[in-house]
Structure 1
Amino acid sequence: MIVVTAKMNVKPASKYDFMVETEALIKHTRYEKGCISYNLYTDTDDPNQLVMLEFWKDMDDLDAHMNTVHFKAFGNAISKYLTCEIEISKFDAQKV
């Protein structure tokens, strides 16, 4: 299983618009092949710091997700709402 975190810092005045874009991405992504879980969380200390926590069956499914129309549209749409680059981390989660 692949686990992805995407940390995003949003401009306070743009948070509503960012959330609208994010809702559409989440809605479409949850139906994709290999998507186990795809959720957005807000930092408890900073309401403008958000993290997308994703669980994918395998890297092929994640790669396919990153090439979807809705993912690319989201990436293009949100740059104006962010205060800095998105910090993305990927982990290979093996059961022990």
Structure 2
Amino acid sequence: MIIIAGHVYVNPDELEAFVSEARATIPDALVADGCLFFSCAIDDPEEGSMIMLERWRDQEALSAYLATPKVEALFAKWGSKMRNEVRKFDASNERAPMEV
């Protein structure tokens, strides 16, 4: 499993527009083969930060989603305007939080 997690930072004046456009990709993600979870939310409006959290079955599923026209357009438009501190993690040994 792959976990995508972290913050994206944009100019606070553009945060609402960015979040709206980022959220427009969520319906496509949720129906994509291999998407296990996908969410984003404004974290701190004053610093222009948004939290991203995603779970994907594997790299193939994530790569297919990232290659969709909406996602490519989002990065083409916002890539140079954002500081992307989102990271990808390979996960194994999935279990409930209280399990050792």
TM-score by length of 2: 0.79
SS in 2 for 1:86: strand
How many pairs align? 92
Gaps of 5+ in 1: none
Residue of structure 2 equivalent to 1:87:
85
1:55-89 C-alpha deviation (Å, 9 max, x unpaired): 0011111111111111101111223653xx31231
Q: Matched residues in 2 for 1:14 and 1:80: separation? A: 13
Matches within 5 A, 1:3-82: 3-43=3-43, 46-47=44-45, 48-79=48-79, 81-82=81-82
Partner amino acid, structure 1, of 2:31:
Y
Larger Rg: 2
Residues 42 and 49, structure 2, Cα contact 8 Å, conserved in 1: yes
RMSD across aligned positions (CA): 1.7
Unpaired segments of 5 or more residues in structure 2?
95-100
Deviation at 1:54, TM superposition (A): 0.7
CA–CA separation in structure 1 for the residues paired with 2:26 and 2:78? 14
1:81–1:16: structure 2 CA closer, same or farther, 3 Å change rule?
A: farther
Q: Distance in 1 between matches of 2:23 and 2:29?
A: 10
- Post-superposition Cα deviations, 1:18-45, rounded to whole Å, max 9, x if no partner, equal 12211211122111110011100333xx
